[in-house]
């Protein structure tokens, strides 16, 4: 079996992961572009942890400008087997109040200005995303949340919008009518790319506000969001520490095949593949391309 390496991508308000032992900010070169920042690599309870601030330290990068491909490729190059996304979201459900951690299990992708695949002309691949999160990893995250007494809800649909503006009232109402639970700007195409890279993925959506639909809350108030962000940050750090203590040290095979997603996904015949694209895919798809 493969040694577990836990990756954590921190969203708004989470720009570092304290408590890591022997930690260092590490630059990772990627052929796909520039990752959001250096990756803080260290250990917790003997487990290798790779932490990346999604917006960069100081929150420099807007959602649409994040190089998601470079971020996921960097995680793959560091050996990450299990990736937990921690991100701020708005709630589309009354019962999912600010401070709740939603363990997302589905997404609706409404983004339109982002590169969404490592594959394309010269090497075409189609991975399954019917189940976009990895159940064993979500089990481990949920167990950690319970152990720390963190208010959470398992299951929910994340509506990924382009941003950077928050929703208009009509949009918020529309997404509620679709049955969506939370709304954010960053889990897509991140989850899609993690699947292409054969990394198990889980999303912890930290509710900061009620978006714009709630009659008692009105427009999103950025100052109120910042207050909740601080509370969520502390809980997220406790969650990761608890997860590091309990997650299996040997990565178990994913029951839905997240870690073998490329097994039969590449369609392009070997003699028709573009060598330049194959060179960029060395980390993401090396397992299947080297056979």
- Between 215 and 232, the higher pLDDT residue: 232
Catalytic residue among 67, 181, 209, 259: 209
Tally the domains of the chain: 1
- What is the CA angle 231-236-237, rounded to 5? 105
Cα end-to-end distance, the chain, whole Å: 19
What percent of the chain clears pLDDT 90, i.e. is strictly above it?
Answer: 90
Q: Is 209 a catalytic residue?
A: yes
Residues tagged in the binding site annotation:
12, 54-55, 87-88, 185-186, 209-211
CATH number at residue 188: 3.40.50.1580
Q: Is 65 a catalytic residue?
A: no
Catalytic residue among 67, 105, 109, 211: 211
Burial class (CB in 10 A: 0-12, 13-18, 19+), 39: buried
Residues tagged in the binding site annotation for substrate:
185, 209-211
Q: Which domain holds residue 234?
A: 2-289
pTM of the full structure: 0.96
Residues tagged in the binding site annotation for phosphate:
12, 54-55, 87-88, 186
pLDDT tens per residue, range 59-87:
999 999 999 999 999 999 999 999 999 99
Distance CA 262, CA 76 (A): 14
Query: Which residue in 174, 158, 28, 35 sits closest to 87, CA to CA?
Result: 158
């Amino acid at each position: 079996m493969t040694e577990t390496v836990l990756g954590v991508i921190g969203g708004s308000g989470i720009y570092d992961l304290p408590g890591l032992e022997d930690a260092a900010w590490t630059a990772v070169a990627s052929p796909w572009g520039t990752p959001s920042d250096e990756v803080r690599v260290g250990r917790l309870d003997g487990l290798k942890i790779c932490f990346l601030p999604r917006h960069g330290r100081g929150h420099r990068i807007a959602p649409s400008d994040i190089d998601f491909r470079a971020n996921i490729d960097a995680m793959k190059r560091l050996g990450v087997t299990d990736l937990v996304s921690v991100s701020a979201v708005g709630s589309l459900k009354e019962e999912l109040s600010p401070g709740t951690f939603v363990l997302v299990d589905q997404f609706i992708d409404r983004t339109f200005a982002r590169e969404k695949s490592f594959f394309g002309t010269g090497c075409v691949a189609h991975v399954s995303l019917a189940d976009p999160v990895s159940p064993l990893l979500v089990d481990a995250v949920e167990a950690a949340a319970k152990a720390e007494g963190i208010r959470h809800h398992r299951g929910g649909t994340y509506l990924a919008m382009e941003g950077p503006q928050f929703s208009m009232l009509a949009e918020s109402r529309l997404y509620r009518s679709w049955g969506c639970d939370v709304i954010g700007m960053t889990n897509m195409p991140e989850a899609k790319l993690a699947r292409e890279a054969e990394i198990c993925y889980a999303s912890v959506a930290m509710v900061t506000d009620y978006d714009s639909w709630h009659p008692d809350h009105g427009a999103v108030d950025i100052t109120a969001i910042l207050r909740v962000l601080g509370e969520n940050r502390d809980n997220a750090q406790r969650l990761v520490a608890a997860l590091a203590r309990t997650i299996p040290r040997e990565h178990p095979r994913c029951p839905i095949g997240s870690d073998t997603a490329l097994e039969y996904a590449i369609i392009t015949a070997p003699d028709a593949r573009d060598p330049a694209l194959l060179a960029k895919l060395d980390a993401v798809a090396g397992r299947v391309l080297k056979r």
